Structure 1
């Protein structure tokens, strides 16, 4: 299977599961997103999917955005959107030049990966709301760690020092034979593959546990860490600034 095929398969599977669990009740509160219900998640994901349909169609950010979806039934809108995003990605292929937020990847392939990972994070949200959490594909979780670290965390977002959590330390994440070394200060985050050099703290565990911890969907008890606990706490808070 090609990489694009893997992401499309995951997108189909994860988005179907999200819709299935959402039908257990839209009013359930989402523990990891205070103030959100399952309906909030469903509407959010539908809007994200439809936004990327337009990005792929235009090759640019749609403006104005979003349309007024407030009058639409949430599940009906979601079902239409999940079909539309798969169709749009299949039509685009993985090499179409388009807008992305990655400094290094301006192709539609970026959105294959991003939409699969968007779907799994929010699938977990609705499962947690109904206490029916199921496993994440280990390969998707491992890839999701890599994507969260770059471009989400390690992109050029910090040059103005716009953070309440400068960290000012080096952190290592080690998961299932892979490692990432992250140097963070107030004006930058540099992510390097591998485990070279000294670090103030190290985070490790299973791929799904570390992935969900990085995304704030499980607490620190789900992972293991060594070194400076304050650095681990500040590192997680820095990630929250660029993922919420």
Structure 2
């Protein structure tokens, strides 16, 4: 996370007014403000164990100074907690500090990619194990959880689904059967190749991660089966990954 936060800061500093192509309407400075807010919000949760009603006033300084201060406070709050300690989260299945440790690592790497795209910088590597875990997080914690707890966020997209499944896998391990149904998405990890998927998407874990987060195209992926169903999955991912 520290390496990605450093790269994110450098990308914003390189082109603070550049538009962020993956976050329509945002400049790189807006991206910095967003990440700052997320870091400050999660710092309060980690310190108190509960969601705040409001945040304390932002620290003084420009956008980068505020980002630096927020990141330093987040790291201190993370270091003060054990992963298994009870802390409020938005997922009833995992009410621990470890949830936020994982979430902030992925928040940082995805927005680091946003910053690099805005600044026109080459994308720095993403470790394969982090990418595999990120695929699991975005499918289970964002797509499945979001479609079942906040279905209105998906508009009419869920109603058009017919219950068929796409198998998502990576060349570094990890596979997920993603069943797309009108009452919500169900994600089953460790899906075997012989699963009843109507389509499959596989590739390098970084390529899969960025495709699901809509930060990268499908050029490096291998897609088989029903192409329209794969397209429905990718369109659904636009809802929880804004």
Determine the structure 2 residue equivalent to 1:122: 111
Q: Deviations over 1:169-206 (max 9, x none)?
A: 20100102321101121212111122252212111110
Change (3 A) 1:79 1:160: closer
Determine the structure 1 residue equivalent to 2:234: 236
Determine the structure 2 residue equivalent to 1:6: none
Matched, 1:165 2:139: no
In 1, the alpha carbon distance for the partners of 2:157 and 2:57 equals: 35
Please give the residue correspondences for 1:161-200 in structure 2 after superposition, counting only pairs within 5 Å: 161-162=151-152, 163=154, 164-166=156-158, 167-168=161-162, 169-176=164-171, 177-193=173-189, 194-195=191-192, 196-200=194-198
Please give the residue correspondences for 1:1-244 in structure 2 after superposition, counting only pairs within 5 Å: 11-65=1-55, 69=58, 72-132=61-121, 133-155=123-145, 157-158=147-148, 161-162=151-152, 163=154, 164-166=156-158, 167-168=161-162, 169-176=164-171, 177-193=173-189, 194-195=191-192, 196-244=194-242
Change (3 A) 1:159 1:129: closer
What residue ranges of structure 1 are gaps of 5+ in the alignment? 1-10
Q: Helix, strand or coil: the match of 1:173?
A: strand
Contact 1:102 1:151 in 2 (8 A): yes
Deviation at 1:161, TM superposition (A): 4.9
Deviation at 1:15, TM superposition (A): 0.7
Contact 1:103 1:151 in 2 (8 A): no
In 2, the alpha carbon distance for the partners of 1:33 and 1:123 equals: 12
Contact 1:165 1:235 in 2 (8 A): no
In 1, the alpha carbon distance for the partners of 2:174 and 2:197 equals: 16
TM value normalised by structure 1? 0.89
Contact 2:60 2:66 in 1 (8 A): no
Deviates more, 1:29-38 or 1:45-54: 29-38
Deviation at 1:54, TM superposition (A): 0.5
TM value normalised by structure 2? 0.90
Deviates more, 1:99-108 or 1:112-121: 99-108
Report the number of matched residues.
233
